[in-house]
Structure 1
Amino acid sequence: MDPQTLTAFFATALFLAVVPGPDNVFVLTQSALRGKRAGLWVVLGLCTGLLVHTAAVALGVAALFERSRVAYELLKYAGAAYLLYLAWQSLRAPAMRVGDGEGARGGAGKLYLRGIVMNVANPKVSIFFLAFLPQFVDQQAGPVTLQMLALGATFIVATALVFGALALSAGAIGRHLVRSERAQRWMNRVAATVFAGLAVKLATAQR
């Protein structure tokens, strides 16, 4: 794949991982309440769950690219609509706090499993991947499945880096990120702009 495409994708994934949401708030909660190791186990579980979504989306989207122009067009516009919905949700999103995260009891194994279940059981992740990953695929660059897997792996790396940093610095950064309503408002506005831009890019993409 084109290094510039991967770089742009990685930068976007890093930013989206920072935007406050249930997953990173849960990481912050566990890190703040139970220590850095607990947060890191949750991060590992969440990233493991992303592997499942990546494989499912890679195989499914590759089939659509190869077999059906109509299905591809439907997926494209549905994905663009979903990204616009995410942009609207970002603009309307209320401030989140550490106390909003759901707690979890148990050892490292239970925290790791909880992270997997939280991610795999969330259909929004697959929908987001369906809308997000295909925009960076170039059919001239090689097998679509391999490109999707590479993009998914890149997204997982970005998520691990950001969530890991949040877990390790849950004290200072976590308090500022989750308790500063002004910072969250600005981040949500930027996220809305990113989602809207991705929606336009996807809607105008050619097969």
Structure 2
Amino acid sequence: MTIAFVVTTLVVVATPGAGVLFTLSAALSGGRRSALVAAVGCTVGIVPHLAAAVTGLSALLHSSALVFGVLKYLGVAYLLWLAVATWRDRRALVADGPSAPARSVARTVGSAALMNLLNPKLTIFFVAFLPQFVDPGRPDAVPAMLGLSAVFMLVTLVVFTAYGLGAAAVRRHVLDRPRVLGWLRRSFAGSFLALGLLLARAEA
């Protein structure tokens, strides 16, 4: 592992995307616990992409327009669904209390993991990024790739947790301002929509 790998990983992970938006939304909806659960879910969603990269399936995805297209449009559909659901869900950002609907851990983790699973850019990232730091001729190339991937996942967990806890820290201030809640809801919905449209334009 090199400094260049760590710095590049930090830049890629810290750049706001669908996972960051989901974690922020979860933090504002359910506080620290939901933020941590969302961060874990987004990290878990990296595992299938890692497995594909190690087994060589990601190369097939990168070279097959059909496979890439199917995964891409599944991801687009899910992001658009998130946009609509966020826009329409008036319960998404509510204060804790007897009447506040609790989102289950399984549902939050599942939604976060599915979002990353349906993101073909993650697989492309593993195809284009990791090989630059692993010599394929090394006898321990696979363990080396697994080690770097573990670092990537750890950085993802730490950065997303930081985003989530930061949002949870100001949650109570946000909840006291209905106009801010409405603005945030529309912003999250618009961001999911924009990400979906950007993903639709992505090419293998």
Q: Is the 8 A contact 1:61 1:130 kept in 2?
A: no
Output the amino acid matched with 1:47. Answer: T
Which residue of the other structure, out of 8, 13, 30, is the alignment partner of 2:26? 30
Q: 1:8 maps to what in 2?
A: 4
Give the letter aligned to residue 114 of structure 2.
Answer: V
Q: Give the corresponding residue for 1:118.
A: 115
Residue 16 of structure 2 corresponds to 20
- Report what 1:59 is aligned to: 55
CA-atom RMSD, angstroms? 3.2
Partners of 1:42 and 1:125 in 2: CA distance: 17
**Cross-structure match for 1:143:** 140
> Which amino acid in the other structure matches residue 58 of structure 1?
V
Letter of the 1:37 partner, please give it: R
Cα deviation for residue 127 of structure 1 reads: 1.3
Q: Distance in 2 between matches of 1:61 and 1:110?
A: 28
Mark the runs of 5 or more structure 1 residues left unpaired by the alignment: 65-70, 76-98, 180-207
**% identical aligned pairs:** 34
For the residues of structure 1 that align with 2:147 and 2:17, how far apart are their CA atoms? 24
Conserved 8 A contact 2:50-2:126: yes
* Matched-pair contact (CA < 8 Å) for 1:25–1:101: no
| SS in structure 1 at match of 2:123 | helix
Checking the alignment, whether the CA contact within 8 Å between 2:22 and 2:112 is kept in structure 1 is no
The whole-number CA distance in structure 1 between the counterparts of 2:147 and 2:19 is 22
**Partner residue in 2 for 1:48:** 44
Runs of 4+ aligned structure 1 residues displaced above 3 Å come to 99-105, 139-142, 171-175
Q: TM-score, normalised by structure 2?
A: 0.58
For residue 160 of structure 1, the aligned residue among 132, 157, 160 is 157
How big is the shift at 1:163? 0.3
- 1:171–1:43 distance in 2 versus 1, CA, 3 Å: closer
Tell me if structure 2 keeps the 8 A contact 1:59–1:145.
no
In the superposition, the TM-score normalised over structure 1's length comes to 0.58
Match of residue 134 from structure 1: 131
